Structure formats: C-alpha cells, structure tokens
Structure 1
Amino acid sequence: MGARVQADDFLAGWVGGAASVIIGHPLDTVKTRLQAGHGYTNTLQCVLTIFKNEHVAGFFKGLSFPLASIAVYNSVALGVYGNAQRFICQYRYGDNGHRGPALSDVAAASAVVGLVTVGFGAPVDLVKIRLQMQTLSARPGSISWGTATPMDVVKSRLQADGVSETRYKGIVHCIQQSYQKEGLNVFFKGAFVNAIRGFPMSAAMFLGYELALKALRGQ
C-alpha cells in the first residue's frame, strides 16, 4: 500500500504554529524593540516602558498577522515534513515492517521542507516587525529558537527601518552605524530574551501539533 498525502499533518501543524505564536509573541516583541535600537537600555527597562505606555496590549502588537501567516507557515512546514517522511520511508523500506525513520530520512524530509518554504518566512517577518514597532504615539524611542545572533539584530534594524525614519542605506551601513554608535554589544541585544522564548515556543508548537494530530486521528 503506497504512501499518500495526509491532511491531518497540515491541520495539526496550524494548531501547533498558532500556539507557538501566542506563547512567544510578547517576548518576540521585546526582542524586536531591543534589537531595533530605539532607546531601550536593557530588557527590564524595555518591558516596563512597553507596559507603562501601551499596557498589556503593547506586547501583542502585530499578533494577528503572524497568528495567521506563521501558523500557516508551520502548517505547511510540519505538513510537508510529516508527509515527506512517510513517502521517503515508503520508498526506501516499503511495507517491510520498518518502524521508524533513520536520521538520513529525517534530514531528507527537512530538506524538502526547506525547499518548499524558502522565501515565505522573510516577508512574514518583515510585516511582523513593522507592526511590532508601531506605538500609540508613533514616535522614535517608543517603538524562532535559540540565541539572538548579530545578523538577527541587523535584520531587525533593517526591517524596522522606515517606520519613523530611514537611517540605513544597506546591510554594511547598518552594521557600521550600529557599531560606531553602540559598540560591539549592540549585536547581542535581545540574546537573553531570544534564548528563553525558544523553550516555551517550541514546547507549545510541538505539544499543540502532537495533541491535535492525536485528536484528528482519534487516538
């Protein structure tokens, strides 16, 4: 019996993606504003400023777009991953009782996911960051998983550029200006927030995915 595409992987992936977005968005907002470089000295000061000026709603700014788009992105990613893995295992092992995928099967399925989803994440991230940078006054200064990297800081600054003013001419100019004005530490802004948000986001995504998958399959 040949492998066939199963829609439940896509539906469960959407549930997992939605759960991950809701859990991780407040910390993602804090990380984005820290990295964009608009007057926040540290994580606590950023959190308190957002809460003071925008209340709890400020942490969920721009949630609707990633809730729809990133949930769909995860739906596609996890759906493609689950189905690709089944097809690969079916092709390699047939119906001979092989119980689980080998590491090479997982790598191949992950590569398929990368090919399918490439180009989708960047536009989604761009809109999300622009929405997160909006404030009630619209003035400057009130503006994954794993640790934040220097390139993540540069990406956030470039994507946030133009919300209230245009400061950077390109990647190199952004790096130069950031270093000259704020020193080497600027490239590690948001590292702590990025690190801690990865755990609840990943947990929520895979727990939501697995529970939804079991519910859809009647297990």
Structure 2
Amino acid sequence: MADAAQDLDTQGGALDTAKDLFAGAVGGIAQVLIGQPFDIVKVRLQTTTQYPSALEAATSIYKHEGALAFYKGTLTPLLGIGACVSVQFGAFGYARRWFESANALSAPSSPSLSYGQYYASGAFAGVANSVISGPIEHVRIRLQAQPHGAGRLYAGPLDCVRKLSAQGGGILPGLYRGEAVTVLREAQAYGVWFLAFEWMMNADAARNRVERRDVPAYKVAFYGGLAGEALWLGSYPFDVVKSKMQTDGFGADMRYRSMRDCFAQTWRAEGMRGFWKGLGPTLLRAMPVSAGTFAVVEATMRALS
C-alpha cells in the first residue's frame, strides 16, 4: 500500500504538473482564437436589449463595426485565457492525483476516481482559475460591450484596467467586480466540464476495451465538444449575472449592489428567460471551442508523454 501511494506521488510530481500547465496553455490559445467571435455576440445579447437575436447582433456588428470587431478585446484573453486554461488543467491534474493517492491508501485495488471526485477536481480547478479569470473577463467584457467609434470608452486593455481601478476605488474592487458570482460559475462550470469529458472518455475506453490514451483524436474532439455544451447548460445563469455586474456602472451609476441584487432584479424584470439570454450563440461557440481545447490539450499531453 505504501509503495502504491509512493508511486502515485511520484507520478503527481512537478513534472506532471508542468505538463498539465503547458498543455493547458496551448489549449487556451486555441480556445480564444476559435471562440472570440461567438463570445462578443453573447456579451452584446446579455448586456443590452438592442438586438432581437444572435443573427441580428452578428449582422449589426459586422455592418457598423467591421469584421475585426469580432476580435475586440482579444489581446487580453489571448494572454490571459492561455494562463487560465493552463491553471484549469494544472489544478485539475493536481486534484485528480490527490484523489488517486487517497483512494490508493483506502482501496489499493481500485485507486481510480469516482465521478463525484472528478466533479470535485473540476470544481477545484474552477475556483483556482477564478482568481485569474475574474479580472481578465471583466476587462474583456468592458471592451466588447463599449460603444463603437466616437463613443468608445477605453483605448485598450491597459487603459481599461486603469479606468476601472480609478472608478472602482482601487485595483481589487475595480477589477474584481462580480468575483463572487465568478467563483460560483467557475466551480459549477468546470466541475461539469471535466466530469462530462472524463465520463465519456472512460466509457468509450471501457466499451472498446482500449486504454484511454488510445481513444482516437476525432472522438476526443467530439467528447470535448459535448462537454462544452454541458458546461454552459449547467452554469449559464451565473454567467448572465456576471456579465451584467461587469458592465454595470460605479458609484451613483451602479445598478446592481450585489450578486443577490442582480439575480433579484433580473428575475423581476425578465423572469426565468432573463437568465438564458444569449444561450444560442454560446452553445454554438461551445462545441468547436471545447472540442478544440480538449483535442489540443490531449494531443499535447500525448506528445509530451
């Protein structure tokens, strides 16, 4: 038993964590490049009543702001989401190996994770990620939602950070607006994301009597895409509230005093439907983005191994 635990500790050492972090960073870059055009449409639908549908929003953005508008605010997520996805996979791998070590001590014949433990590992990854993703997404959403042309509020990411810090009374209160709901969203979203992907991968390996590493790349991408759909269906109301709070004003212009107040106002004004605005383009985005992320991460991990 001690030998098994020691072996697992060795596998879960610094080298494995470094591999997880690197593979996640590569996957994060792919995620941003694939998903950014869908994301700006989602944010516009969540934060304004200007567009009756996703198609109308996309058409209006293209007509009035040009094709490059779909990549507004990309620099911040390109740098930041790579770090975020790196943290997600690094933290998930760390938590997974911790559970495997604990399971090996209590049940040496079966150290594999339960699906509750997969969810807990994903939730841990989400909470760890929220420290980085909160301010990064806040800046991205401000840049995506700002008016075009003469009404532009921010010259770029650094200008946005400076103004949010000044308006919010400091870097922490300014940049971390909506952090409570961000933590809840990240924990639920990534708990579901990793759970769904691991369940499908393990089920396929068992069904076809192959090792997990032998599951074909096209299946990895497909299961990753389905996991992305599950992520958003399981966490979308939290994301709507987060977007509302992160496009809200400061001081006298503040509409939402807290996460709870934002939930209450959304319910009173729009009912249940208000928590699902923009879901269509989000689900359209989720399949290719999540498929690309898992496919790239899995391919990178296999290459490193």
Query: Taking structure 2 as the reference length, what is the TM-score of the superposition?
Result: 0.59
Verify: 1:170 aligned to 2:257, yes or no: yes
Q: Distance in 1 between matches of 2:262 and 2:130?
A: 26
Q: Distance in 2 between matches of 1:98 and 1:154?
A: 41
For the 8 Å contact 1:51–1:58, the answer to whether it is kept is yes
Name the count of aligned residue pairs. Answer: 210
Q: Distance in 1 between matches of 2:128 and 2:266?
A: 35
Q: Distance in 1 between matches of 2:304 and 2:262?
A: 50
Q: Distance in 1 between matches of 2:263 and 2:86?
A: 34
Q: Distance in 1 between matches of 2:65 and 2:80?
A: 24
Offset, 1:154: 3.1
Verify: 1:88 aligned to 2:133, yes or no: no
What secondary structure sits across from 1:119 in the alignment?
helix
Amino acid at match of 2:280: F
What secondary structure sits across from 1:8 in the alignment?
helix
Alpha carbon RMSD of aligned pairs, Å? 3.1
Say which structure, 1 or 2, has more relative contact order (CA 8 Å, 6+ apart): 1
Amino acid at match of 2:143: L
Partner of 1:191: 279
Partner of 1:152: 239
Offset, 1:27: 0.7
How do 1:66-85 residues align onto structure 2 when only pairs under 5 Å count? 66-85=77-96
Task: Identify unmatched segments of 5+ residues in structure 2.
Answer: 1-6, 153-188, 190-230
Task: Identify unmatched segments of 5+ residues in structure 1.
Answer: none
Q: Distance in 1 between matches of 2:69 and 2:117?
A: 43
Percent identity of the aligned residues?
32
Q: Deviations over 1:64-116 (max 9, x none)?
A: 1111112111101101212332343234327x686844435424533542453
What secondary structure sits across from 2:50 in the alignment?
coil
Alpha carbons of 1:58 and 1:106: their partners in 2 closer, same or farther (altered >3 Å)? Answer: same
Alpha carbons of 1:153 and 1:84: their partners in 2 closer, same or farther (altered >3 Å)? Answer: closer
Q: Distance in 2 between matches of 1:111 and 1:151?
A: 15
Residue of structure 1 aligned with 2:142, choices 130, 139, 143: 130
Q: Distance in 1 between matches of 2:41 and 2:245?
A: 17
Residue of structure 2 aligned with 1:117, choices 129, 138, 149: 129
What secondary structure sits across from 1:161 in the alignment?
coil
For the 8 Å contact 2:44–2:145, the answer to whether it is kept is yes
What secondary structure sits across from 1:146 in the alignment?
helix
Larger helix percent:
2
Query: Taking structure 1 as the reference length, what is the TM-score of the superposition?
Result: 0.80
Amino acid at match of 2:242: K
Q: Distance in 2 between matches of 1:48 and 1:194?
A: 16
Q: Distance in 2 between matches of 1:119 and 1:102?
A: 27
Q: Distance in 2 between matches of 1:33 and 1:130?
A: 11
- Which 10-residue stretch deviates more, 116-125 or 29-38? 116-125
Q: Distance in 2 between matches of 1:61 and 1:133?
A: 9
